[in-house]
């Protein structure tokens, strides 16, 4: 498809104002420290159960992590067979609609010698791969089908408050895992997963690196106005129906804008984006990149859509992570 957004030069310079809502940092501090288990199928600690996949060179574990309000969030942990820890670790978040899939899939990071945790996204798993994590808080009636407007009436009830908390808990679970090096944890994801990775970069200090690809959940006001295909169009559809809720919607979304959370990041990052992307418009991805507060680099795929760099970007990431983990260990707060 042709270019439909700002020119490459304009994207490079695009740095929109990202208003910080009242109590932004306090909201996230409270969310991550004070949300108690509510008793509904709550789990107390991460569980790792070995799974026989028939693959001999990768060990796989069925993972259950206590996520938002202690509710179970599932995933797969894959470890290279015979490796001795602690290993560098990649925590991956998934694209919109995708679940964790089957245990023998997605072996790249483990084959490269790293621990690899993939987090199931609560309530999702209807598109490219199935999921097994439920979301028990659908929010008020009237949300557009999908997840972007679920609970959008308030930051307290918004869907991504739960998802971002789940993601932080998965990173914490791997920091405590005996086979993972807590100082060498990288977060990554494509599209929705890239947006979640950016959110985690601003919520979790001491990460080793961040790999967001064609990130979703960035610069919501512009994205809702110009995106040609879902999921951002769910916001526009919601506001088409609820004409009196525009201010409320964008106030809620401001607490979850991954471009704003990225202004709190300190870890080095390697971004990727695509200039013909009509799902996550390149200007919105550049908003996150240009505001990202840590050391950063970007790979731009000029003639690709939302598929982005795909295997080409994986090649870039493998080299980048190998170089990153080969460097000196900087230590994170509370660790020598």
Token reading at 259: 């471009």
Burial grade of 69 (CB within 10 A; 0-12, 13-18, 19 or more): middle
**Catalytic annotation present for 154:** no
- CA–CA separation, 276 and 100 (whole Å): 27
Choose, from 177, 277, 278, 291, the residue flagged as catalytic.
277
Q: Is 201 a catalytic residue?
A: no
Taking the C-alpha atoms of residue 85 and residue 76, their distance in angstroms, rounded to an integer, is 18
- Positive or negative, the Cα torsion across 306, 309, 314, 316? negative
SS3 (DSSP) at 291: helix
Which residue in the list 120, 137, 177, 191 is annotated as catalytic? Answer: 191
8 A C-beta contact, residue 251 and residue 314: no
Residue 191 falls in the annotated catalytic set: yes
For residue 212, whether the previous peptide bond is cis, meaning omega lies within 30 degrees of 0, is no
Query: Residue 72's beta-bridge partner residues?
Result: 66
- What positions carry a catalytic annotation? 191, 277, 306
């Amino acid at each position: 498809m042709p270019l439909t957004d700002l020119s490459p030069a304009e994207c490079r310079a695009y740095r929109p104002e990202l208003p910080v809502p009242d109590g932004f940092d306090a909201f996230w501090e409270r969310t991550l420290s004070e949300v108690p288990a509510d008793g509904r199928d709550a789990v107390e600690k991460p569980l790792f159960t070995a799974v026989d996949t028939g693959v001999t060179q990768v060990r796989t574990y069925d993972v259950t992590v206590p996520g938002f309000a202690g509710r179970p969030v599932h995933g797969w942990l894959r470890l290279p067979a015979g490796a001795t820890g602690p290993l560098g670790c990649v925590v991956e978040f998934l694209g919109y609609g995708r679940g964790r899939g089957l245990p023998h899939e997605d072996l790249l990071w483990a084959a490269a010698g790293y621990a690899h945790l993939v987090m199931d996204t609560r309530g999702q798993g209807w598109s490219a791969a199935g999921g097994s994590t439920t979301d028990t808080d659908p929010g008020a009636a009237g949300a557009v089908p999908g997840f972007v407007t679920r609970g959008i009436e308030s930051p307290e009830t918004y869907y991504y408050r739960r998802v971002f908390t789940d993601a932080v808990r998965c990173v914490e679970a791997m920091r405590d895992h005996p086979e993972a090096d807590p100082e060498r944890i990288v977060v990554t994801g494509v599209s929705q997963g890239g947006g979640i990775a950016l959110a985690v970069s601003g919520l979790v200090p001491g990460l080793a690196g961040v790999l967001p690809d064609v990130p979703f959940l960035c610069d919501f006001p512009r994205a809702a106005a110009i995106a040609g295909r879902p999921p951002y169009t769910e916001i526009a559809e919601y506001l088409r129906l609820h004409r009196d809720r525009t201010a409320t919607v964008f106030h809620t979304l401001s607490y979850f804008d991954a471009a704003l959370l990225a202004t709190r990041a300190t870890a080095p990052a390697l971004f990727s984006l695509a200039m013909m992307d009509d799902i996550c418009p390149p200007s919105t991805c550049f908003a996150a990149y240009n505001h990202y507060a840590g050391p950063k680099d970007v790979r731009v795929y000029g003639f690709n859509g939302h598929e982005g760099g795909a295997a080409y970007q994986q090649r870039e990431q493998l080299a980048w992570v190998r170089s990153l983990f080969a460097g000196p260990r900087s230590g994170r707060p509370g660790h020598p």
